[in-house]
Structure formats: structure tokens, C-alpha cells
């Protein structure tokens, strides 16, 4: 999505430690009009895949999930992050390690919101090593539903998480793939 690449170049910033800061439009301040365009593009990419439900994880995945779900006219479900493994109720859980925050948390989705009939599109704002997505894949699998695809706004291609998922057979559509970045340049993978 050329428009997203352009926005990363104009509005994003690179910080030490391979941090790509896009908090002015994607994950702290939200450019609602632009997020709706991202949702429209995700809907276009998966228009022929009979998706029945979008799954994401709080917090910043929610904005993209709503934008895509609104264009696809289907529900979205967001996994909640819990610090404790001691969770009551009828839920699916998966333990996720966050490199960004250097901690573990448990992703939780109530069983009532996923069924074996569902064809799920997993979405998130970022894809780096892919740990959060793997937790969501695990949860979808527990429910018997099918992971029909994965879509993220920005993939850090050089961290390998997206390509590893592709090698396992998942269809992963990232709207912008950053193959390398330095303090003064960001290079995108041709798509």
C-alpha cells in the first residue's frame, strides 16, 4: 500500500534499537480517516476468502480490526492481555512473550466468540518476530476455527516473523514491509 509507505516516510521516525515510531497515526494518536483506508485495503485483499471473523489483540490492534471489520461487515474479537495465568471462565488462552516490553502475558478470548465454523482473519498493527500473532493462531486453533489469513499494517521484514509464517503456509499480507532502516532512511520490500 503505497500510501502507507509514504506516510511512514513523512510521519514516522526511526529510534535506536530498531524502533519505528508511528505513534502519531497508528498506535497512540490514530488517524481515523487513514485507518479506515487501511481497513478498506485489508477488506479488498481478503474479499474472496469468506472471512467470518476478525481476531486481534488489545490495544492498538483494535483500531485496525474495527476498520477492516466495518468494511467486511463482520464482527471483530480482541484478545485481552492478562498478567496472571489464573483466569476464570470459559476462555481460550495462550502465553505470549513480548520482546518490546521484555515480559510475558496471557492472551485471552472467551470461547463463545470463536467456533469451528469460523474462517478467521488475524490482524495487528505491527509484525516483527510474530510472537503475538502466534499466540492468536494458537487460540484460533484451540477453537477449531480456520486461520484464513493474517494481515498487518507494518511488517519489520528484517526481523523474520512474517517470512517464517509464510514458510509455514500462512497467507500473510502486510501493507508495508520494512526491509531495512537506519536513522535517516527506511527501505521497503517491493510488493
Residues that bind a copy of itself (CB under 8 A): 23-25, 28-33, 35-36, 58-60, 62-63, 65-67, 69-70, 72-78, 80, 109-110, 112-113
Least Å from the CB of residue 10 to a copy of itself: 15
Closer of 61 and 162 to a copy of itself (Cβ): 61
Instruction: End-to-end CA distance of the chain: give it in Å, rounded.
Output: 9
d(CA 81, CA 83): 7
Least Å from the CB of residue 30 to a copy of itself: 5
Closer of 38 and 176 to a copy of itself (Cβ): 38
Closer of 154 and 177 to a copy of itself (Cβ): 154
Q: How many CA atoms lie within 13 A of 65 on its CB side?
A: 21
Closer of 63 and 177 to a copy of itself (Cβ): 63
State the residue for C-alpha cell 471483530.
Answer: 76
d(CA 50, CA 66): 18
d(CA 72, CA 91): 26
Least Å from the CB of residue 124 to a copy of itself: 14
Least Å from the CB of residue 37 to a copy of itself: 10
Amino acid at each position: 500500500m503505497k500510501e502507507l509507505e509514504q506516510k511512514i516516510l513523512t510521519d514516522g521516525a526511526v529510534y535506536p534499537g530498531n524502533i519505528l515510531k508511528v505513534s502519531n497515526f497508528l498506535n497512540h494518536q490514530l488517524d481515523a480517516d487513514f485507518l479506515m483506508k487501511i481497513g478498506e485495503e485489508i477488506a479488498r485483499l481478503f474479499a474472496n476468502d469468506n472471512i467470518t471473523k476478525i481476531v486481534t489483540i488489545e490495544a492498538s490492534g483494535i483500531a485496525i480490526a474495527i476498520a477492516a471489520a466495518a468494511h467486511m461487515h463482520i464482527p471483530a474479537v480482541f484478545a485481552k492481555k492478562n498478567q496472571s495465568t489464573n483466569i476464570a471462565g470459559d476462555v481460550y488462552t495462550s502465553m505470549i512473550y513480548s520482546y518490546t516490553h521484555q515480559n510475558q502475558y496471557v492472551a485471552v478470548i472467551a470461547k463463545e466468540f470463536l467456533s469451528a465454523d469460523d474462517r478467521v482473519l488475524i490482524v495487528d498493527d505491527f509484525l516483527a518476530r510474530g510472537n503475538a500473532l502466534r499466540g492468536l493462531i494458537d487460540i484460533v486453533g484451540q477453537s477449531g476455527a480456520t486461520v484464513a489469513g493474517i494481515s498487518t499494517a507494518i511488517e519489520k521484514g528484517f526481523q523474520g516473523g512474517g517470512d517464517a509464517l509464510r514458510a509455514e503456509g500462512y497467507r500473510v499480507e502486510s501493507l508495508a514491509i520494512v526491509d531495512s532502516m537506519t536513522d535517516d532512511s527506511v527501505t521497503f520490500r517491493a510488493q
